[in-house]
Structure 1
């Protein structure tokens, strides 16, 4: 028998799982968060819940905000359970559930004037973001904010009717500037190198399209701290809803499942103040870059390494990919020989130990993370997670055999058909374009590298082009498994 998640039912739920140890009436909003998805609810919302449970900083509760149709669906689910969330943490040998209460409301696309009004409220001192790597309107090849995106151009032409997250943030900052109110801090929590700087360029760059003076004011007065965030959080489906109900007795419309591990490294740059994040386990540093580079290249890059061979071999779950000897050895070889050697030292961190922890996390059978999720959005993720390692090796004249094979596996995946002949459904916002190039590349391998906005200078390197062409031709000639065997035996 299960109990519907609600404030009224928390005493009953508390008999079996941990619930907030603070009164929700004691909370007031200090943060507006754009992108109330699973990662946010398993990460920032959990850290704040831990902090609030100590009795501290109850004026830093979360108000959610969103601009997508899916945000409206999330609002309805969460509103129906008083903004509470069930978070199920799963390690290899244990599963624990808790209920978090750090969020106290949510605004959605139909509430854009209300969102701007809330952003102008002096009590809001932080605006945080989890809008995915592809949500920052960055040119994949240059890594620079691109104002020619249709949505950005539209907001630049109509700043008083913003439709994007950044348009809303600009409108909120303008209202605060005009009222003489201190600006809020913009805190990106997305997996992007220099995410604070990327967010700054998007906000200020959009403002400059219609008001150069406002853009300058933003660059000079608004803080955009960099951050590194980490927690594997799969999508919620019927499986997760059923486990929450049957194993923990909680009827949650959209529970969050995640691994036990979590990490947040945050630059301490908050002129308008911040919660005492460090009391909840956040690492506060002056420079996030070393941690960020380590995580993005070793963990996110590692995800990409196992994703595409596993997807081509019809492997469904990530832990099943790690159980496949060829995939596991491919990850080990490419990480130890090509990726990790290009990662600069990180304070108080042994990179080999870090990689060992990652392998343990990838192999967690309880998470239920899917290979398809890892394959998602390669056109945005490859330039951030894989190609920087490739570029670093090319710059030093080092071999890129494994990394070129990873890129060739992505191309082969974008062809849209697995080794068994099963259709691979579209899995990228640019799928049609990717598939068109991948299909040409079956006979003309270098056709895939014509996407210069993705591959940039890497795609122009003769060493990379030669390795990529050979890897892709081999994949089509002998298949994924045999190609991996040749790479692992140094005969590719």
Structure 2
């Protein structure tokens, strides 16, 4: 069993020094970090992989500008609980890695420095994505989040949330936020960011590129052309999962880490 705290307490910047000595904590100064990555869809996979890699990079000199701003699109009960937990914990949480012999190690991840809830403040999300500090916008929104018709393979422009975004209302969809932010960057002469899909899709970069360009074409063909010429959409592949804490045995996460 890995007991990461001697008594139940809320994980936060203030309580990092009270954790069990066997728990690795960030050795960098979180106050010096700025977000260079915005991630839409902060689920288990992102927190246990991409954010963990970013956390390792932040321990290297000169990488303070590569922290993460998380963005949530959901408005249900679990989404609201995540907002409350991450804000209460200063966006800190724990990752436990198990070896084949059953032993494991736990570390606190400090790479995420802010978490924006899009339904509550879509303008804050657009401002963050449009700012020059953000150089990568990554996503884990599931296959359905890319909004393609399974029968025709076409992007569904008439899907209700997409139609809402196309009408000029504050965005609800990931693609709506991405295109809206890229539009602002183009108008402000700010370089386009890289859009990086981290979902379990073949040719994930090509998929998100088609979605973004389809939406942008419906908004402004000139904008679509600018995005096609200036934004990068790398392909990637998912080779692992992050199981729910509830189905993991032998872990006492008594810090209530989200």
Same-fold call, TM > 0.5? yes
* Counterpart position of 2:31: 25
* Counterpart position of 2:128: 118
Does residue 149 (structure 1) correspond to residue 154 (structure 2)? The answer is no
| C-alpha distance in structure 2 between counterparts of 1:56 and 1:7, whole Å | 22
Deviation at 1:9, TM superposition (A): 1.6
Deviation at 1:139, TM superposition (A): 2.2
> Secondary structure of 1:9's match?
helix
Q: Which has the higher helix share?
A: 1
Of residues 166, 171, 181, the one that matches 2:190 is: 181
Q: Which has the higher strand share?
A: 2
* Counterpart position of 2:14: 8
Give matches, 1:311-390, under 5 Å: none
Deviation at 1:140, TM superposition (A): 2.5
What's the C-alpha RMSD, in Å, of the aligned pairs?
A: 1.9
Cα deviation, 1:191-247, whole Å, max 9, x if unaligned, reads: 11111111111111112222222122211221111112332212344x6699333xx
- Compare CA radii of gyration and give the structure with the larger one: 1
Does residue 88 (structure 1) correspond to residue 92 (structure 2)? The answer is no
Does residue 252 (structure 1) correspond to residue 256 (structure 2)? The answer is yes
* Closer, same or farther: CA 241–214 of 1 in aligned 2, 3 Å: farther
Counterpart contact for 2:92–2:257, Cα < 8 Å: no
Of residues 140, 146, 150, the one that matches 2:150 is: 140
* Counterpart position of 1:396: none
Of residues 208, 211, 236, the one that matches 1:227 is: 236
Counterpart contact for 1:147–1:206, Cα < 8 Å: yes
| C-alpha distance in structure 2 between counterparts of 1:253 and 1:240, whole Å | 14
Counterpart contact for 2:178–2:212, Cα < 8 Å: yes
* Counterpart position of 1:63: 69
Cα deviation, 1:313-362, whole Å, max 9, x if unaligned, reads: xxxxxxxxxxxxxxxxxxxxxxxxxxxxxxxxxxxxxxxxxxxxxxxxxx
| C-alpha distance in structure 1 between counterparts of 2:82 and 2:56, whole Å | 23
Deviation at 1:42, TM superposition (A): 0.4
Give matches, 1:450-461, under 5 Å: none
Cα deviation, 1:132-169, whole Å, max 9, x if unaligned, reads: 1221112234544332322222222x134211111111
| C-alpha distance in structure 2 between counterparts of 1:183 and 1:160, whole Å | 22
> Secondary structure of 2:107's match?
strand
* Counterpart position of 1:489: none
| C-alpha distance in structure 1 between counterparts of 2:215 and 2:56, whole Å | 35
Counterpart contact for 1:31–1:60, Cα < 8 Å: yes
Deviation at 1:14, TM superposition (A): 5.3
* Counterpart position of 2:51: 45
Deviation at 1:4, TM superposition (A): 2.9
Q: What TM-score comes out, normalization by structure 2 length?
A: 0.89
Does residue 202 (structure 1) correspond to residue 211 (structure 2)? The answer is yes
In structure 1, list runs of 5 or more residues that go unmatched: 255-492
Count of residues in Structure 1 that have an aligned counterpart in Structure 2: 248
| C-alpha distance in structure 2 between counterparts of 1:163 and 1:43, whole Å | 26
| C-alpha distance in structure 2 between counterparts of 1:187 and 1:240, whole Å | 29
| C-alpha distance in structure 1 between counterparts of 2:62 and 2:80, whole Å | 31
Counterpart contact for 1:160–1:171, Cα < 8 Å: no
| C-alpha distance in structure 2 between counterparts of 1:144 and 1:56, whole Å | 43
| C-alpha distance in structure 2 between counterparts of 1:88 and 1:140, whole Å | 37
Counterpart contact for 1:145–1:198, Cα < 8 Å: no
> Secondary structure of 1:128's match?
strand
> Secondary structure of 1:110's match?
coil
| C-alpha distance in structure 1 between counterparts of 2:242 and 2:116, whole Å | 23
Which protein has greater RCO, CA pairs closer than 8 Å, 6+ apart? 2
> Secondary structure of 2:14's match?
coil
In structure 2, list runs of 5 or more residues that go unmatched: 1-5
